[in-house]
Amino acid sequence: MKTGREKQELAMAASKLTRQDLTWIENNTQDLSSQEVNTQETSSQEESSQDNNNPDPDIFTGNNPDPAPEPDPATASKSGKPRKRRSVKHTWPEVGTVLQANYEGVHYEAEVIASPKYKSGKAVKILSGPAAGKVKSSMSGAMNLATKRQREDNNLGSKGVSNGWEFWKPRK
């Protein structure tokens, strides 16, 4: 017996089927064994013998409105409403600026380079460590790439690497 949630998921999936999908299903399910066909006929006879004046509210009939989606825990606030994404303006350092950072006792360096293919027109080229020579379009991406090997080797996960703008500091 299906739970209410399973019925909702099936209803959502069924509501998204196109005529092409239904035609494909019809054409590709003709090879059912006679046992499966008999089982289907029995269940459809049972359904037709039920009282149609009181249909199960969990069964999708095509007339039910879509159920409200459950909030995604990653983007929902404590009130259950989606959080608004904050836009923080950052000012990129000048092209040629050498950046430095220390993470768990290891020193990293990177350089701001011109990169017209990115929205900011700049990117970060990593100068030291296992990722030396690689380029990322964001400060956070460069931070994650620069520290990736060290984090993997020491089972650190993403501890201490949440904001590339705070991680990288211009070398003086």
Domain region containing 128: 98-170
Both 166 and 114 in one domain: the answer is yes
pLDDT, average across residues 116-139: 93
Indicate the residue type of 59: I
**Upper half-sphere CA count for residue 40 (Cβ side, 13 Å):** 7
Could you give the CA distance from residue 143 to residue 166 in angstroms, rounded to a whole number? Answer: 10
User: Is 93 part of a structural domain of the chain?
Assistant: no
Both 40 and 108 in one domain: the answer is no
Q: What residues pair up with 82 in beta bridges, in sequence order?
A: 76
Both 27 and 70 in one domain: the answer is yes
Both 1 and 71 in one domain: the answer is yes
User: Is 113 part of a structural domain of the chain?
Assistant: yes
Q: What is the pLDDT of residues 11-27, one digit of tens each?
A: 878 888 888 877 777 77
Both 72 and 16 in one domain: the answer is yes
How many domains does one find in the chain? 2
- pLDDT for position 90: 85
Q: What is the pLDDT of residues 27-78, one digit of tens each?
A: 777 655 444 545 555 455 544 444 455 455 555 455 555 555 666 666 666 6
Both 64 and 122 in one domain: the answer is no
User: Is 89 part of a structural domain of the chain?
Assistant: no
**Upper half-sphere CA count for residue 92 (Cβ side, 13 Å):** 19
Could you give the CA distance from residue 11 to residue 66 in angstroms, rounded to a whole number? Answer: 9
Indicate the residue type of 71: P
User: Is 86 part of a structural domain of the chain?
Assistant: no
Both 64 and 5 in one domain: the answer is yes
